[in-house]
Amino acid sequence: MAAPSLLGRRVVFRADASHALGFGHVARLWALIEEVQSAGGDPVLMFGGDALAVMSWARDRNLEVDAQDWSPEQVARAAEEMHAAAVVIDGPAIADQLAPKLKDRGVRTVVVDDQGKCPLQVDAVVNHNFHALSLAHTYPCAKRKLLGRHYLMLRREIKRFTRGSCRPMASSRLRLLITFGGSDPVGATARVISLLPEDRPLELVVIAGPGFRDDDALRIAVGHACLAGHTVDVRRSPDDPGGLFVSADAALCSAGGTLGELAYLGVPALAWAIARDQVVPAREQVRKGMISGGRKWTDCDDDMIRADLVRFLLDDAGRAQQRLRALGTADSDGANRVLHAALLGTV
């Protein structure tokens, strides 16, 4: 019997992105889209949310996307008519409505999840968060459970660098990366910049993603930071985020998928949970000594954020230890493992 193949087969990807939702669901599918392309498959992107931002994101990656408010019936019917090899869903609300319709049509269904508590009957569930193995019992009906950082899905623009490529320097002027995802719906970027300590000048590299809208607050915060002696370089949807990550000494970020990328590259991080599905992963990584912070953003007042920043920036030895612990959890093969286990069923 010939080995399963995606050559010439279509794989449907369904997710939403917007300023309010963030771009995490869409962005992490990019790694699996790349694997499908490498395997000779034809990815079909059925994304929704903020159509203009989604199309801009796709255009930057030379992808074709039909961005609209897709109904579950539309997606299921399209997948059946095109004889799709699989449908990959990222987003719990979408999965709840779409997965049963795909099952009724006999379409292979893969759900990418963060939270657990997913009783859907699907061919595979992927949760690449650090703590995901502890959630295995919350996926009772999944035929395959691909859980933990063994299945960390890294995009090529990150894994083109070798594991541990970031080599932080013990310098009096740290190069600090600041990124809160594709849209930063909570306004964390400007707030964190405005609360940085003034007694240690920093070299700041600020990434604003395709859904970022807090431009006025960011401009004010950057002005204050420059007056305090920091240098600030703001990058809007940069072409080479991996290069920016590798050149940093440390990062301030949200506790989503970025933490996996930083772990792989070896960038020590201070992170806050800005979305509900980030709270438990953040706490677990703090407990294991892999990151600093881990607080729920909505629980933080300015004094708490200032204290987190001071502790993190002054603790050179602590950052080095966190880097090594996090680095030990990540490699570059996760997306390929997902391809074979979830889409090809070969392992």
Residues 14 and 143 placed together within one structural domain of the fold: yes
pLDDT confidence of 86, banded at 50, 70, 90? very high
pLDDT confidence of 4, banded at 50, 70, 90? low
Domain holding 259, by residue range, is 158-327
CA–CA distance, 253 with 211 (Å, rounded to integer)? 16
pLDDT confidence of 2, banded at 50, 70, 90? very low
Q: What is the pLDDT of residue 167?
A: 95
Residues 119 and 177 placed together within one structural domain of the fold: no
Q: What percent of the chain has pLDDT over 90?
A: 89
Q: Tell me the sheet residues that pair with 273.
A: 296
**Residue 48: inside a domain:** yes
Whether the pLDDT of residue 1 is over 90: the answer is no
Q: What angle do CA 300, 302, 303 make, to 5 degrees?
A: 95
Q: What is the pLDDT of residue 61?
A: 87
Asked if residue 147 lies in contact with residue 158, where contact means CB atoms within 8 angstroms, the answer is no
CA–CA distance, 115 with 107 (Å, rounded to integer)? 24
In the predicted model, what is the mean pLDDT of residues 104-115?
Answer: 96
Residues 108 and 192 placed together within one structural domain of the fold: no
**Residue 2: inside a domain:** no
Whether the pLDDT of residue 263 is over 60: the answer is yes
Whether the pLDDT of residue 345 is over 90: the answer is no
pLDDT digits (tens, 9 = 90+) for 38-74: 999 999 999 999 998 899 888 888 888 989 999 999 9
Residues 137 and 63 placed together within one structural domain of the fold: yes
Chain mean pLDDT for the chain: 95
Residues 145 and 163 placed together within one structural domain of the fold: no
Whether the pLDDT of residue 326 is over 60: the answer is yes
Least confident of 63-67, 306-310, 335-339: 63-67
pLDDT digits (tens, 9 = 90+) for 173-221: 999 999 999 999 999 999 999 999 998 899 999 999 988 999 999 999 9
pLDDT confidence of 347, banded at 50, 70, 90? low
Q: How many CB atoms lie within 10 A of CB 224?
A: 16
Whether the pLDDT of residue 119 is over 70: the answer is yes
Residues written for the chain: 347
Tally the domains of the chain.
Answer: 2
Residues 287 and 165 placed together within one structural domain of the fold: yes
- The closest of 24, 313, 308, 14 to 184, measured between CA atoms, is 24
- The closest of 90, 84, 81 to 41, measured between CA atoms, is 84
In this structure, the dihedral spanned by the alpha carbons of residues 259, 127, 235 and 268, taken in order and rounded to 10 degrees, is 10
pLDDT digits (tens, 9 = 90+) for 239-255: 899 999 999 999 999 99
pTM of the model: 0.94
**Residue 118: inside a domain:** yes
Q: What is the CATH number of the domain that holds 57?
A: 3.40.50.11190
Residues 141 and 165 placed together within one structural domain of the fold: no
CA–CA distance, 28 with 32 (Å, rounded to integer)? 8
Q: Tell me the sheet residues that pair with 176.
A: 204, 250
**Residue 4: inside a domain:** no
pLDDT digits (tens, 9 = 90+) for 144-183: 999 999 999 999 999 999 999 999 987 789 999 999 999 9
Joined tokens for residue 301: 């007042």
Residues 130 and 181 placed together within one structural domain of the fold: no
Tell me the three-class secondary structure of the chain, residue by residue: CCCCCCCCCEEEEEEEEECCCECHHHHHHHHHHHHHHHCCCEEEEEEEECHHHHHHHHHHCCCCECCCCCCHHHHHHHHHHCCCCEEEEECHHHHHHHHHHHHHHCCCEEEECCCCCCCCCCCEEEECCCCHHHHHHHCCCCCEEEECHHHCCCCHHHHCCCCCCCCCCCCCCCEEEEECCCCCCCCHHHHHHHCCCCCCCCEEEEEECCCCCCHHHHHHHHHHHHHCCCEEEEEECCCCHHHHHHCCCEEEEECCCHHHHHHHHCCCEEEEECCHHHHHHHHHHHHCCCCEEEEEHHHCCHHHHHHHHHHHHHCHHHHHHHHHHHHCCCCCCHHHHHHHHHHHCCC
Asked if residue 31 lies in contact with residue 87, where contact means CB atoms within 8 angstroms, the answer is no
Residues 118 and 49 placed together within one structural domain of the fold: yes
Q: What is the pLDDT of residue 59?
A: 87
122 burial class (0-12, 13-18, 19+ CB within 10 angstroms)?
Answer: buried
Q: What is the pLDDT of residue 5?
A: 79
pLDDT digits (tens, 9 = 90+) for 269-296: 999 999 999 999 999 999 999 999 999 9
